[in-house]
Amino acid sequence: MEGSICEAYIIEEISTLCSLYFEPTVESRFTQVPRNDDASEVESLGRLSIFTYPGRPLGRGSWQRLLTEEEYHIVSNYVLFNCEEMIPFMK
């Protein structure tokens, strides 16, 4: 059992090292497109930069709920601290 664990680890390390020397066009674990990226351009249309990342929904929405007041404050702070438009105001 220990031999197969070591062998798997060594194979993973060798694969990782070798993949660093592949051409950029060769898809590997490190160069593959993110799972939800549909490779389309997103227009800002006046939206904050944090909401312009490309992607597509997976599956269908099953239910919705209202945020608690604490969750709302956490989400608000995340948006404010992670969008480029707020940088001038934070300085």
CA distances from 86 to 38, 70, 90 (A): 28, 22, 6
Q: What is the pLDDT of residue 73?
A: 94
Q: 73: which 2 tokens? A: 């404050």
Q: 62: which 2 tokens? A: 């099953």
pTM comes to 0.40
| Residue 12 scores a pLDDT above 70 | yes
Coil, strand or helix at 70: helix
Q: What is the pLDDT of residue 35?
A: 62
